[in-house]
């Protein structure tokens, strides 16, 4: 019997599951990730504390499965993207904590670059090239804007703000690690540092940083030219079928092969059985991420959808396989529910669906969910959050319903942008993540977009995805058809056509509310 340990490093939680070859869970463990908030807009993770939690959850999951570490066939990893740290290769000193993907410390730099001469010139030249070539890649370049969610400008901000890091870059001793490359390195070296071990990052994590060009499949020379970033600071990019090495025996008493490393959204695609061109999934976690597979075509976007490498397998028994996708993100989903809970609107998130259904509508109340600005297709990172339409007759239930509806409205916006920019007919929305367990959101979303929403029994798609990739790389499963059998649908939310026109009208009013909160600062 083969056993796969699957480690998922999320923004707020760290989990490890032990699966057998029938994809049954034999054991699990989890710990909360302590998200530090040293000042407004800054979100960090202390690296060594995270490392101790990683070792603990793997060890505890193996114990929970009543297995020994020598029983584990391999480890699969999925990690959050665009979370990074820098360190000195000579002294092993960290220059700062992990700066997470939710961090907004480079707001000023983002605004400066987006309104600056260089980017405006680049936009103009790109549009000129589009008129000549009619290439959508150049059309996308004509509306290109820097974003806080990418590593690019947060790294530049940190270099400017940290004299020690600036000096290390000058001396060529600085290293930049995304979370996945740091984790692979730590697992391979154990308690000892070994600079001979090459730092590697998988292509699905690299592609989201803003420093990687998915069209050329390499770290971007344009980023080097614009920002002067030495690309040698960055880890080597490898495919999802690369040799990731083994966990050092000093950690668990035996060497365990690291059979896969994928970003959380790629893992979620696999966990949702989205393998073919046109397949789409929506992960509803801390934020929401819509990913649609565009096959071998890297799709440029003018609405703010992001072209990514969905996965890349090279020289495997399954042959060479590269797939691209477009992604639309909603920065705030689970964070909205956590905030509402902290404000006393309900006791447990599991209550919210019933609370929302306890009233027929929001009584004219609308909520704008922009704690981190509003992404595509609005693309306004200066937008603010707030309620509109509150009256003396407004109750907690109306406020809760307005918050849940706003989550569905934002996802529906991204769905519509995806449909307008691609030629794919979306047949079904496969949803996963903690917020997907909310029946009200799933049904309201189906009613809004007029497409069935499918939720699997196991909503932890990122954990499943890294397991599937690890199992295929190790030969435990021979094909994707073998792993399709493991997906069991929990519930299918069919659109209620009689409610669609009413809901779309409410969405139009909500979009007017969003317009009031745009360009807030």
145-161 pLDDT, tens per residue? 777 778 999 999 999 99
pLDDT for res 317? 67
**Residue 330 contacts by C-beta under 8 Å, 6 or more apart in sequence?**
287, 288, 289, 290, 369, 375, 407, 410, 411, 414
345-362 pLDDT, tens per residue? 999 999 999 999 999 999
Same domain, 370 and 259: no
Considering only 137-141, 207-211, 432-436, which range has the smallest mean pLDDT? 137-141
Q: Is residue 302 part of a domain?
A: no
Same domain, 159 and 214: yes
Cβ contact 440:474 at 8 Å: no
**Residue 294 clears pLDDT 80, i.e. is over it:** yes
* Nearest C-alpha neighbor of 268 from the set 8, 5, 2: 8
> What is residue 133's DSSP assignment?
H
Q: Choose between 235 and 114: higher pLDDT.
A: 235
pLDDT for res 118? 84
Reported as a pLDDT band with limits 50, 70 and 90, residue 331 is confident
**φ and ψ at residue 15, rounded to 5 degrees:** -135, 150
pLDDT for res 272? 94
**Residue 8 clears pLDDT 70, i.e. is over it:** yes
**Residue 192 clears pLDDT 90, i.e. is over it:** no
Q: Domain range holding 159?
A: 3-108+144-271
Same domain, 157 and 231: yes
Q: Could you give the CA distance from residue 4 to residue 468 in angstroms, rounded to a whole number?
A: 9
Q: Is residue 316 part of a domain?
A: no
Q: Could you give the CA distance from residue 394 to residue 388 in angstroms, rounded to a whole number?
A: 11
375-393 pLDDT, tens per residue? 888 888 788 999 999 999 9
Range list of β-strands (E), 336-395: 366-368, 386-388
Same domain, 8 and 150: yes
pLDDT for res 9? 96
Task: Label residues 317-335 b or e (16+ Cβ within 10 Å = b).
Answer: eeeebbbbbbbbbbbbbbb
* Nearest C-alpha neighbor of 356 from the set 337, 381, 331: 337
Reported as a pLDDT band with limits 50, 70 and 90, residue 306 is confident
Q: Is residue 324 part of a domain?
A: no
Packed helices 461-473 and 264-271: angle between N→C axes, nearest 10 degrees: 80
**Residue 256 clears pLDDT 90, i.e. is over it:** yes
Q: Is residue 283 part of a domain?
A: no
Q: Could you give the CA distance from residue 208 to residue 287 in angstroms, rounded to a whole number?
A: 15
Residues in the chain: 521
Q: Structural domain tally of the chain?
A: 3
Q: Choose between 449 and 519: higher pLDDT.
A: 449
């Amino acid at each position: 019997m083969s056993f796969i340990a699957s480690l998922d490093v999320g923004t707020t939680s760290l989990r490890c599951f032990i699966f057998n070859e029938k994809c049954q869970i034999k054991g699990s463990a989890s710990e909360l990730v302590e998200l530090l908030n040293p000042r407004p807009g800054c979100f960090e993770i202390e690296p060594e504390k995270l490392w101790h939690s990683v070792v603990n959850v793997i060890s505890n999951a193996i114990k929970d499965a009543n297995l020994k570490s020598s029983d584990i066939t391999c480890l699969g990893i999925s990690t959050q993207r665009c979370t990074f740290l820098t360190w000195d290769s000579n002294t092993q000193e960290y220059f700062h904590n992990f700066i997470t993907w939710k961090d907004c410390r480079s707001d000023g730099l983002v605004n400066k670059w987006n309104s600056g001469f260089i980017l405006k010139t680049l936009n103009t030249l790109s549009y000129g090239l589009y008129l000549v070539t009619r290439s959508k890649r150049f059309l996308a370049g004509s509306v290109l804007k820097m974003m806080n969610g990418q590593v690019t400008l947060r790294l530049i901000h940190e270099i400017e703000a940290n004299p020690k890091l600036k000096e290390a870059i000058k001396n060529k001793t600085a290293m930049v690690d995304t979370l996945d490359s740091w984790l692979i390195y730590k697992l391979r070296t154990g308690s000892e540092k070994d600079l001979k071990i090459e730092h590697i990052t998988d292509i699905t994590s690299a592609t989201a940083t803003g420093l990687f060009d998915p069209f050329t499949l390499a770290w971007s020379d344009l980023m080097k030219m614009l920002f002067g970033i030495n690309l040698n600071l960055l880890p080597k990019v490898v495919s999802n079928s690369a040799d990731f090495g083994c966990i050092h025996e000093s950690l668990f008493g035996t060497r365990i092969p690291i059979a896969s490393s994928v970003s959380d959204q790629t893992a979620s695609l696999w966990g949702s059985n989205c393998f073919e061109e046109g397949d789409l999934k929506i992960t509803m976690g801390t934020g929401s991420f819509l990913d649609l597979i565009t096959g071998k075509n890297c799709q440029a976007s003018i609405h703010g959808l992001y072209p990514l490498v969905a996965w890349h397998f090279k020289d495997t028994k399954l042959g060479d396989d590269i797939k691209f996708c477009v992604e639309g993100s909603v920065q705030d989903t689970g964070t909205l529910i956590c905030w509402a809970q902290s404000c006393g609107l309900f006791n447990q998130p599991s209550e919210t669906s019933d609370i929302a259904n306890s009233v027929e509508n929001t009584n004219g109340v609308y909520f704008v969910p922009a704690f981190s600005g509003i992404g595509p297709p609005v693309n306004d990172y200066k937008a603010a959050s707030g309620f509109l339409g509150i009256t003396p007759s407004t109750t907690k239930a109306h406020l809760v319903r307005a918050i849940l509806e706003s989550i569905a409205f934002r996802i529906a916006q991204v769905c519509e942008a995806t449909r307008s920019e691609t030629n794919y007919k979306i047949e079904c929305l496969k949803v996963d993540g903690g917020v997907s367990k909310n029946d009200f959101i799933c049904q309201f979303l189906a009613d809004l977009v007029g497409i069935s929403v499918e939720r699997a029994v196991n909503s932890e798609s990122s954990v499943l995805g890294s397991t599937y990739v690890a199992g295929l790389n190790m030969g435990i499963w021979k094909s994707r058809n073998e792993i399709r059998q493991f997906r069991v649908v929990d519930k299918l939310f069919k659109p209620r056509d009689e409610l669609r026109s009413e809901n779309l009208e409410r969405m139009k009013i909500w979009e007017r509310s969003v317009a009031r909160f745009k360009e807030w600062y």
